[in-house]
Structure 1
Amino acid sequence: MAIQWFPGHMNLTRKLIAERIKEIDVVIEVLDARLPGSSFNPLLQELTGHKPRVKLLNKQDVADPVQTQAWLEWYNAQPETRAIPMDAEEAAPARRLAQACRELAPNRGGLAKPLRVLICGVPNVGKSTLINSMSNKRQAKAADEAGVTKDEQRIVLDDDFYLWDTPGMLWPRIIVEQSGFNLAAAGSVGRNAYDEELVALELLLYLQKHYAQNLEDRYKLGWGAQKIAAAHDDELLEAIARKRGAVMSGGRVNTQKAAELVITDFRTHILGRITLETPAEFAQWVAAGEAAEQQRQALAEAKKKQRKAARR
């Protein structure tokens, strides 16, 4: 079952966006370039889908550049969509983002018709840091933790450019299991909503397949990339634990501490430039998730009918 996290303030954000979108010209959805599919919010698509949009692949400087290009091409093939890679710390790309918004709404601009932009995304995707970069001021709270921004903020970037910042929001039911793990690995899910060991093992499985040399370079196990790729994920986590000193009394391995180390190394980019999904992989995950969701709903409906029949 996929990881789920949709606290009450996110439901309030959903209502806020549904109301605000009526007066918005362009939507900026900030995505994590390391998980450009999993950080795409289907609820935001539902709420804002009729508006021109910028898909901003943030943190591109720590993502796999080959995969970033593949995702840019995938998103740019969608109608009324501009996909842009960015590092939120850089000022020049932020100005490029503002220009992209103006190009998507050419009939807006000037004091009589200011451009009204909504910026949104999942938690901890770097949105607040980006806003501070765009405005050259510390107007939005930024932290490496999900759920820091809790209220809507209106920010004036220019005399005719108004930006509404919304709190990070997930969606009520994540049907793509791998997306839940990837969001947790990136820190977009509250800490009480997932098991660190399970997330670390799923992360290692993907890294073994696509970035085995990165694991060897970081943890210096002396195995070589080929052995790392072939190892069982539990075995690999235990080896990392012993190498990094995550050992308890009696020589027992502290897998919880090892899991936290692996997740932290990914979040802080120590493992190198990594992307956890390709467009093709994500499409497969979505198809599998939708099929499983259909089966779940069919089973729930069958049980509901059985209960009704039993009460007659």
Structure 2
Amino acid sequence: MALQWFPGHMHKALKEIKESLNQVDILIEVLDARIPYSSENPEIAKIRGDKPCIKILNKYDLADPEITARWQESLEKERGVKTITTSSDNPGNSKQIMQLVKSICSYKEGQPKAIKAMITGIPNVGKSTLINILADRIIAKTGNEPAVTKSQQRINLGSGIILFDTPGVLWPKLENPHSIYRLASSGAVKNTAMEYDDVGFFAADYLIKAYPEVMKERYKLDELPDTEIEFLEAAAKTRGAIQAGGRVNLHKICEILLKELQSGKLGRITLETPEMLEVEKEEMALEAAKKAEAKAKRKAKFKTGSLTPDKKDRKEKREEKRQEQSRRMRAQNKK
């Protein structure tokens, strides 16, 4: 699936983030605990430099807790990074973010200037809800759809902390094809930017392998099929996703599956693990190397041209003639 969703306001927002980052003391990046890697904006990583960063694994209540712990360990290996888990049903845990910000920026204690923090995150990751919890009042507009916040704003959280809120942004180019599907599966992009059938097949393939018992119980299946198409066909029958004539309505069953995944009705599900991403990064590196090699070959071919032996011979003779003329001219100039 080729995902092309980078509206003009996202381009503007990314530019503003780059311009404002040097004014802040600490960066707070909100991630989706179900897809910590795929919801991490690589553009932010490029411009962060050595600035300390708190990575918040939000929607923790929807994610597999054991895998989340592994993600926290993996993320904190990066220099200057601390992690914390949050969810809308646990505002007390969200308040720990303020304490962590103060702890990391303790060098500013006693100074007249407030700690300046910038908060970023992809669309629909729960950033606005988190801000309202931190501010203890309704500051940011919330909504269960991507791209609610459209412009940057400053919020005084009290306790000597100023928060720079930024719109949720994706990035211009999504390199990892698996990440594209995970973003779509989690609801990080609008429904209009995705095909339910395409994403549903991806989600079904992953879920029957990673959470077989969950899928078998949820869709009331005696046996779990081996392939995603067989699973979707079987699930469609138990959920009434059948068209006239007894045909399976694949679009409807994919829609049901994705909505239940996004709402948490399937239970605590995580769509990627640190170990999976190591393998995928290696695959992407190999693919990038192949593309670079192919590009180099095309470039070399363009320089030499697609010559038949006869054309190549004539070209060599013309080159020899030019070199001979050049030698005669140099000899005449010396006289």
TM-score, normalisation: structure 1: 0.92
Within 5 Å, give how 1:94-113 maps onto structure 2: 94-109=94-109, 112-113=112-113
SS, match of residue 132 in structure 1: helix
User: Percent identity of the aligned residues?
Assistant: 37
Check if 1:233 corresponds to 2:228.
Answer: yes
Q: Report what 1:269 is aligned to.
A: 264
Q: Report what 2:30 is aligned to.
A: 30
- CA shift in 2, pair 1:102/1:257, >3 Å: same
Aligned length: 307
Measure how far apart 1:111 and its partner are: 6.8
Contact 1:175 1:293 in 2 (8 A): no
Measure how far apart 1:117 and its partner are: 0.5
Q: Deviations over 1:137-158 (max 9, x none)?
A: 1111111211121111211100
* Distance in structure 2 (CA, Å) of the matches to 1:190 and 1:286: 26
| Letter paired with 2:72 | L
| Letter paired with 1:245 | G
Q: Report what 1:170 is aligned to.
A: 170
Contact 2:236 2:242 in 1 (8 A): yes
* Distance in structure 1 (CA, Å) of the matches to 2:146 and 2:295: 32
* Distance in structure 2 (CA, Å) of the matches to 1:306 and 1:7: 37
SS, match of residue 197 in structure 1: helix
Within 5 Å, give how 1:77-116 maps onto structure 2: 77-109=77-109, 112-116=112-116
* Distance in structure 1 (CA, Å) of the matches to 2:51 and 2:124: 24
* Distance in structure 2 (CA, Å) of the matches to 1:194 and 1:293: 25
Contact 2:116 2:161 in 1 (8 A): yes
- CA shift in 2, pair 1:165/1:198, >3 Å: same
Measure how far apart 1:187 and its partner are: 0.9
Measure how far apart 1:176 and its partner are: 1.1
* Distance in structure 1 (CA, Å) of the matches to 2:240 and 2:91: 41
Q: Report what 2:328 is aligned to.
A: none
- CA shift in 2, pair 1:289/1:193, >3 Å: farther
TM-score, normalisation: structure 2: 0.86
SS, match of residue 197 in structure 2: helix
Contact 1:70 1:279 in 2 (8 A): yes
Point out the more displaced range, 246-255 or 106-115. Answer: 106-115
Contact 1:29 1:53 in 2 (8 A): yes
Measure how far apart 1:27 and its partner are: 0.4
Q: Which has the larger radius of gyration?
A: 2
Point out the more displaced range, 88-97 or 213-222. Answer: 88-97
Measure how far apart 1:282 and its partner are: 1.1
Q: Report what 1:147 is aligned to.
A: 147
Alignment partner for residue 280 of structure 1, among 270, 275, 278?
275
Contact 2:41 2:170 in 1 (8 A): yes
Measure how far apart 1:243 and its partner are: 1.4
Q: Report what 1:15 is aligned to.
A: 15
Check if 1:247 corresponds to 2:242.
Answer: yes
- CA shift in 2, pair 1:243/1:221, >3 Å: same
Q: Report what 2:6 is aligned to.
A: 6
